[in-house]
Structure 1
C-alpha cells in the first residue's frame, strides 16, 4: 500500500485568511458555499448526498459478512462493554474518503473552526448512515441520536508525553459517557445497553497517537450496578475500584484501530484516550537525519440510543440520514456549547454558536430536553467567559493569517468588540434564563448566574469553572 500524503499541521496559516472563523457571521456560515470554499473536496447539502458516494451502502442483512461481524461484535460488547469492528467488512472507505475527511478536519482547524464542524459536510453523515444498520445489530436496536463530535489529537502538540499541567490535550481522561441515577435500568432484559457510541478513526489510531483504552466489563464493579455518587468517598472512586492492585492494571485494554474501522462501546464502560507520544528522530554516523513521524488521531463519534432512555437530539424523521446544513450547524453549535469546558473558545464564538442554535428557523430543531441542557451550559459558559475565563481573557488568539492583525488600532478595535461580545453574551444568558422560567425550568440556571454576579465561579461539585479539567463531567 502506498504511503499516504502527510497531513498538514492545524497550526499552519489558513489557505484563505478571509474564510477564518474570526470573520464569520451567521449569514455567511449558513451558506453552503462558505464550507465548500474551506474544504473544496467535500460536499455540502447535495440534492441527494447518497449519489456522491463511490459505492452503495453495505447491507447487514442475515447471510452477509457484515451481519456475521455484527453478531460477533454484539457478543463481545455484552462481554466486555466494547468491540472493534475492522475496516474491511465495514466498507466505510467505499462511501467516504476517510483520508480526505482527516485532511479537511485540519483545514477547518487552520481556519479557526473546531474539527466537529466536519459534521457540516455530507461525507461525515455518510459514515453514520453506513454504520446505522450494523450498530443497531451490535447494540440491540439503538438508533442514531445525533450526539456527534469530531477530534484532532496531535501527538506533537500533545505534550510529547510530558506531564505538564499547562499542556492541553483533546483526548479525554477516564470517564463513563453516562451516569444515570438507575444504571441497571439503562440495560434491556437481554443485557444490551440502551446507549452506545460508534467511534470511527479517519487516521490510524495507535497507542502513540491516542487510541482508545478501556477497562473491560468483567473488571469494573460499577459497570452495571452504578457508582457511588458521594464525592468524598474516595475509596468508592470507580477507577480505584477497577484498579485495586498492581496486577489489575494488566486488565486495561488498548484498542488500536485502522482508519475506517469502528469501535463500538456502551455508555457504562470506562474509557479514555492516551496522551500522544510523538515519533523518533535520529542521525546516522554520517550525519544523515531520519525520523519516524506519528500522525495525528482524527476521528468522529456518533451516539446511538434507545429513545426510552435518551431521545434523539433532533427528529430522525426530518434529519436522518442527512440533516440539512442549517440544522447541522444548529446541532454542531449546540454541541460546542454543551462541551464548552472541553473545547475552549471566546465570547465571539459563543455568541455565534448561540445564534446558530437559536436563530429564526431553528425553533424546534433541537429536542426540548437537549435544548434545555444547551441553554443551561450557555449560561455557565457566558458566566465563565464574562468573569475572565476562556480564551479571551487568557490572551489565546490564534493568528488567522491576516497581516493587519498586528496593528495597534486593530487590537483596540478587537478589545472593543470583545467588550461588546461580553455584553451581548450576558444579555443572551439572561434571555435564556427568562425563557427557562417561562417554561418552568429556570431553577437549574439560577445558582450559576447568581454565582457569576457574586464573583463566585464554582459548581455544585466545588470545581472551579476556570479549571474544567478538575470537574467531573459526562464526556466522550
Structure 2
C-alpha cells in the first residue's frame, strides 16, 4: 500500500521500538552515550533471555546545558541520597512527564499531581512548568475532563485550567510536541485520523522537517 510509510509497517506502535536492539548488551553490561543519541528501553531477546530484563538509566548533565530538576539551594549533592520526600516528588514528576509509557489512570494522574503541587520550592521552575504541561495533557488523554464523576471531574478541570493560565508561555511551546507519535499514527494513515494543519514556514531551527507550531482544527 503506497499510502502507508515503511516506518509505519516496521514500527506500527510505540511498543514496537522495544524490538530494536541497535546496541545489544549482555547481562550486567553498560553503555555510555550522549543525549544526542536516540535511545529507548529495548525488550529482551526471547531466544537468549532466561530472566526478565531490567534496565537502569543514570543521567548526568552539565548545569549550564540543562538545569538540575531540584534547585541547588534546596539540595546540594554531598554523597548522600536525597530524602524520601524529594525522591517521591521526582518520581511523581517523571510519571507525569512520561505518562504515556505507564498507562496511568485519571486517579493516578491526580495523585501524582497532588504530590507535585505540594512540592513547595523543591523543583526548578522550568522543569516544574514542563511537568504541569504534561499533567494537563494526561488529564485530557486519561479522561480526567469530561468523563469523571461530579466533584472529581470539576476539580481536575479547574486544576488543568489554572495550570494553563499560570504557564501560558510554556503551553505555547510544549503543546507543539515534535515527538508526539500519536500525531504520526493518526495523521499519516493510522486509525482514521486527519492530518494537522501545519504552518510550513514555521519550523524549529536545527530540526529539519519538524514543525514547531501546529494549528489543530
TM-score class normalised by the smaller sequence: 0.5 to 0.7
Q: Paired residue for 2:62, among 301, 306, 324?
A: 306
Query: 2: CA distance between counterparts of 1:308 and 1:300?
Result: 25
1:444 partner SS = helix
**Counterpart position of 1:325:** 84
**Counterpart position of 2:105:** 346
Residues 309 and 381 of structure 1, relative CA distance in 2, 3 Å threshold: same
Residues 465 and 331 of structure 1, relative CA distance in 2, 3 Å threshold: farther
Q: Which has the higher strand share?
A: 1
Residues 258 and 460 of structure 1, relative CA distance in 2, 3 Å threshold: closer
Query: 1: CA distance between counterparts of 2:37 and 2:49?
Result: 32
Deviations 1:36-95 (A, max 9, x none): xxxxxxxxxxxxxxxxxxxxxxxxxxxxxxxxxxxxxxxxxxxxxxxxxxxxxxxxxxxx
Superposed, 1:366-381 pairs within 5 Å as: 366-381=123-138
**Counterpart position of 2:172:** 444
Deviations 1:443-463 (A, max 9, x none): 528x95xxxxxxxxx967886
Residues 297 and 326 of structure 1, relative CA distance in 2, 3 Å threshold: same
Query: 1: CA distance between counterparts of 2:98 and 2:114?
Result: 17
TM-score, normalising length: structure 2: 0.63
2:112 partner SS = helix
Query: 1: CA distance between counterparts of 2:40 and 2:140?
Result: 29
Q: Would you say the 8 A contact 2:97–2:134 is kept in 1?
A: yes
The number of aligned residues is 175
**Counterpart position of 1:434:** 165
TM-score, normalising length: structure 1: 0.31
Q: Would you say the 8 A contact 2:89–2:116 is kept in 1?
A: yes
CA drift of 1:432 comes to 1.0
Q: Would you say the 8 A contact 1:386–1:426 is kept in 2?
A: no
Query: 1: CA distance between counterparts of 2:154 and 2:184?
Result: 19
2:102 partner SS = coil
Q: Paired residue for 1:270, among 8, 22, 38?
A: 38
CA drift of 1:322 comes to 1.1
Which has the higher Rg, Structure 1 or Structure 2? 1
Q: Would you say the 8 A contact 1:213–1:271 is kept in 2?
A: no
Q: Would you say the 8 A contact 1:213–1:273 is kept in 2?
A: no
**Counterpart position of 2:206:** none
RMSD: 3.9
Of structures 1 and 2, the one scoring higher in RCO (CA 8 A, sep 6+) is: 1
Deviations 1:352-398 (A, max 9, x none): 00011111xx112111111111111111111222379xxxx8xxxxx
Query: 1: CA distance between counterparts of 2:185 and 2:109?
Result: 18
Residues 433 and 263 of structure 1, relative CA distance in 2, 3 Å threshold: same
Residues 269 and 463 of structure 1, relative CA distance in 2, 3 Å threshold: closer
Q: Would you say the 8 A contact 1:346–1:385 is kept in 2?
A: yes
Deviations 1:157-183 (A, max 9, x none): xxxxxx8958x74xx839xxxxxxxxx
Q: Which runs of 5+ in 2 are unaligned?
A: 1-9, 191-209, 211-217
Q: Which runs of 5+ in 1 are unaligned?
A: 1-162, 175-209, 215-253, 280-291, 394-414, 449-457
Query: 1: CA distance between counterparts of 2:185 and 2:136?
Result: 17
Query: 2: CA distance between counterparts of 1:295 and 1:346?
Result: 29
2:82 partner SS = coil
Q: Would you say the 8 A contact 1:334–1:353 is kept in 2?
A: yes
Query: 1: CA distance between counterparts of 2:84 and 2:113?
Result: 16
**Counterpart position of 2:139:** 382
**Counterpart position of 1:33:** none
Query: 1: CA distance between counterparts of 2:98 and 2:111?
Result: 15
